[in-house]
Chains A and B, each alone.
Chain A
Amino acid sequence: MSSDLRELYQTVILDHYKKPRNFGPLAGATCVAEGRNPLCGDHIKVYARVAGDTVEAVGFEGSGCAISTASASLMTQIAKGKSRAEIDAIGARFHDLVTGGAQANPDALAALGKLEVLAGVREFPARVKCATLVWHALRAALDGRGGAVSTETDE
């Protein structure tokens, strides 16, 4: 197996794929949004419970590949207890991470914590949308755009 494949499908990602955290409808959710990838039919739903400016909890459900499921699972962990502004900042850095934009900026990478395991995605351009779909959906949920976001219409 090639090293970039091993980097993409590392243990942490497979673990979150097989045992996704915070999976299922979230009790007391205050907002929800759906994300779809029309190219592959993947479909996820993201729930968040917000009090004031704090995102108390995030959950998700749906079917997806290892990358999208692990990305969602990791996101629910890192978003918990953060403010909207913090989540926006992490989302932007994460986007840089998986598209290769953050390579020159190690400080930004450090702030991503466990999300860094998804860095291998940058070697697989066709899979970037798998990793970012759930972040678009969380953003839509927090912005009160309760409908569906798509990998083909949202940036």
Chain B
Amino acid sequence: MSRTSPARSERSAERLTDLEVAHLRADFPILDQKVHGKPLAYLDNANTTQKPLAVIDAESRFYASDYAGVHRAVYELAERATRAYENGRNAVRRLLNAPDAHEVILLRGTTEAINLVASSFSRACVGAGDEILITAMEHHSNLVPWQMACEAHGARLVVAPIDDRGELILDELESRIGPRTRLVAVAHVSNSLGTVNPVSEIVEMAHAQRVPVLVDGAQGAPHMPVDVQALGCDFYAFSGHKLYGPSGIGALWGRRELLEAMPPWQGGGAMIENVTFEKTTYAGIPARFEAGTPNIAGAVGLAAAIDYVQAIGLERIAAHEQHLLAYATALLGEIPGLRIIGTASEKAGVLSFVLDGVHAHDIATILDREGVAVRAGHHCAQPVMERFGVAATVRASFGVYNTREEIDVLASGLRTVIEVFG
């Protein structure tokens, strides 16, 4: 399979040394603690990530010295706050290599970004009998908004299947793009399986039929270099809290011509050009999609998080997480009765698994007593669980601060589980 996504190039980057990881762990105060008397091994990074002091301090400094409302007042504080907020937008532009910061909408996170497109794009472009194409591995946040949009406009939700390894079947996806397809919405990386999708190829297939592509980058942007111009996609959404930034801030990048053709989403302050009781005209992008006072300090924290990961280098973070994934896959593969769910050839640092005769919840409870934080459940991807014939999986997911030693603790915790359940 030919791949043009930047996921490939990261392989050549050098991974972080153990010493570098040890040093950067010290940037994350929360990691230095015991739970149930055991050192915390935080392996739930696909859910959310912990915050470095750089992020915590940036927000706190901003509140202590520069906080005011943005985009409205002429006084000094307001100008400083506006600059700091717009610096967040610029950081996102840089992170995604977007051509223009005006194309970056700051929102609560990936869920809000996808809901914005599902609501606003669909109002402009989706009608009765049209189709939206998603894939069988989508998180509920890239599924339910499209279901709602289809219901509202009399359109049909079409689903491209995945194979037993958790890879998209590209021929099947391509055959589902037709004259009624209005948009393709696909995860960059599957949150439940770890599969890295060949986004560039999917974009080529869709663009050949003049269909735009939205990429759910919630599990992509934090774990590999992302270049929306190289990917060729039309929308890219991600969340700050999965990228070592604050919760409640994230972004949507969209092509200018698409965003400009989309009607406003929420009405309110800041998104208008002129208001009378008879008629309101709307501001241009990005203000049109940012009604109300935004998460100003969140944008400041997000900029600090982006600076933090870029200083380490996303290529190196990706190489580190690949190293951990390979180590964990080999180690857990030796445990009798353990089955890994999601064995795609291109994976990010997500390891989902089930253990014969033991429910995921019981595994997570026992691991918690060993200090290991993992997620157990359906990971907001119930159709994926159904596809693999399991009710739930345990998911260990890695971040920049994780170590091989933490994976050793995970593996020995799993042996305790087997001991308990005999």
What is the interface of chain A, defined by CB distance below 8 A to chain B? 1-2, 4-5, 8-9, 14, 18, 39-43, 63-67, 69, 124, 126-127, 130
Asked whether A5 lies within 8 Å of B362 as measured between CB atoms, the reply is no
Category for how many chain B residues contact A: 20 to 34
* B378 contacts partner chain A, Cβ-Cβ < 8 Å: yes
A residues in contact with B416, CB < 8 Å: 1
Beta-carbon nearest neighbor of B385 in chain A:
A41
- Bound-state CA distance A124–B358 (Å) is 18
A residues in contact with B392, CB < 8 Å: 40-42
Please provide the chain B residues from 349 to 377 with a CB less than 8 Å away from any CB of chain A in the complex. 357-362, 365-366, 369, 376-377
- Bound-state CA distance A130–B392 (Å) is 14
Report the minimum CB–CB distance from B203 to chain A (whole Å).
Answer: 33
26 intermolecular pairs with C-beta atoms under 8 Å apart: A1-B416, A1-B419, A4-B369, A5-B365, A9-B362, A9-B420, A14-B421, A14-B422, A39-B377, A40-B361, A40-B377, A40-B391, A41-B377, A41-B382, A41-B391, A41-B392, A42-B361, A42-B391, A42-B392, A63-B359, A64-B359, A65-B361, A66-B362, A67-B361, A126-B365, A130-B361
B residues in contact with A9, CB < 8 Å: 362, 366, 420-421
Instruction: Choose among B359, B378, B391 the residue that contacts A66 (Cβ–Cβ < 8 A).
Output: B359
* B36 contacts partner chain A, Cβ-Cβ < 8 Å: yes
Beta-carbon nearest neighbor of B366 in chain A:
A5
Further contacts, 14 of them, CB under 8 A, given A9-B366, A40-B391, A66-B358: A1-B420, A5-B369, A5-B420, A9-B362, A9-B421, A14-B421, A40-B376, A41-B385, A65-B359, A65-B361, A66-B359, A66-B362, A66-B421, A127-B361
Report the minimum CB–CB distance from B288 to chain A (whole Å).
Answer: 35
Beta-carbon nearest neighbor of B420 in chain A:
A9
Report the minimum CB–CB distance from A126 to chain B (whole Å).
Answer: 7
Asked whether A63 lies within 8 Å of B391 as measured between CB atoms, the reply is yes
Asked whether A8 lies within 8 Å of B365 as measured between CB atoms, the reply is yes
Q: How many A-B residue pairs have CB under 8 A?
A: 58
Report the minimum CB–CB distance from B343 to chain A (whole Å).
Answer: 21
Chain B facing A: main interface SS: helix
B residues in contact with A42, CB < 8 Å: 361, 391-392
Q: A2-B36, A63-B391, A65-B359 are in contact. Are A41 and B378 (CB under 8 A)?
A: yes
Report the minimum CB–CB distance from A111 to chain B (whole Å).
Answer: 28
B residues in contact with A18, CB < 8 Å: 357
Beta-carbon nearest neighbor of A40 in chain B:
B377
Beta-carbon nearest neighbor of A6 in chain B:
B420
Report the minimum CB–CB distance from B118 to chain A (whole Å).
Answer: 22
Nearest 3 interchain pairs by C-beta:
A65-B359, A65-B361, A41-B378
- Bound-state CA distance A14–B422 (Å) is 9
Report the minimum CB–CB distance from B140 to chain A (whole Å).
Answer: 11
- Bound-state CA distance A29–B366 (Å) is 37
A residues in contact with B36, CB < 8 Å: 2
- Bound-state CA distance A129–B357 (Å) is 21
A residues in contact with B391, CB < 8 Å: 40-43, 63-64
Please provide the chain B residues from 187 to 223 with a CB less than 8 Å away from any CB of chain A in the complex. none
- Bound-state CA distance A81–B420 (Å) is 34
Instruction: Choose among B366, B369, B378 the residue that contacts A40 (Cβ–Cβ < 8 A).
Output: B378
B residues in contact with A69, CB < 8 Å: 359
Asked whether A67 lies within 8 Å of B362 as measured between CB atoms, the reply is yes
Report the minimum CB–CB distance from A134 to chain B (whole Å).
Answer: 14
A residues in contact with B376, CB < 8 Å: 40
- Bound-state CA distance A65–B394 (Å) is 13
A residues in contact with B377, CB < 8 Å: 39-41
Beta-carbon nearest neighbor of A66 in chain B:
B362
- Bound-state CA distance A130–B364 (Å) is 13
A residues in contact with B358, CB < 8 Å: 66
B residues in contact with A124, CB < 8 Å: 365
Report the minimum CB–CB distance from A99 to chain B (whole Å).
Answer: 17
B residues in contact with A8, CB < 8 Å: 365
Mask, B367-406, CB within 8 Å of A = 1, is: 0010000001110001001000001100000000000000
Most buried by A among B36, B361, B365: B361
Beta-carbon nearest neighbor of B363 in chain A:
A65
A residues in contact with B378, CB < 8 Å: 40-41
Report the minimum CB–CB distance from A17 to chain B (whole Å).
Answer: 8
- Bound-state CA distance A65–B422 (Å) is 15
- Bound-state CA distance A41–B381 (Å) is 10
Beta-carbon nearest neighbor of A11 in chain B:
B422
- Bound-state CA distance A96–B392 (Å) is 28
Beta-carbon nearest neighbor of A41 in chain B:
B378
Please provide the chain B residues from 51 to 70 with a CB less than 8 Å away from any CB of chain A in the complex. none
Report the minimum CB–CB distance from B359 to chain A (whole Å).
Answer: 4
A residues in contact with B382, CB < 8 Å: 41
- Bound-state CA distance A124–B362 (Å) is 11
Asked whether B362 lies within 8 Å of A65 as measured between CB atoms, the reply is yes
- Bound-state CA distance A39–B382 (Å) is 11
B residues in contact with A65, CB < 8 Å: 359-362
B residues in contact with A126, CB < 8 Å: 365
- Bound-state CA distance A18–B366 (Å) is 18
Report the minimum CB–CB distance from B213 to chain A (whole Å).
Answer: 30
Report the minimum CB–CB distance from A151 to chain B (whole Å).
Answer: 12
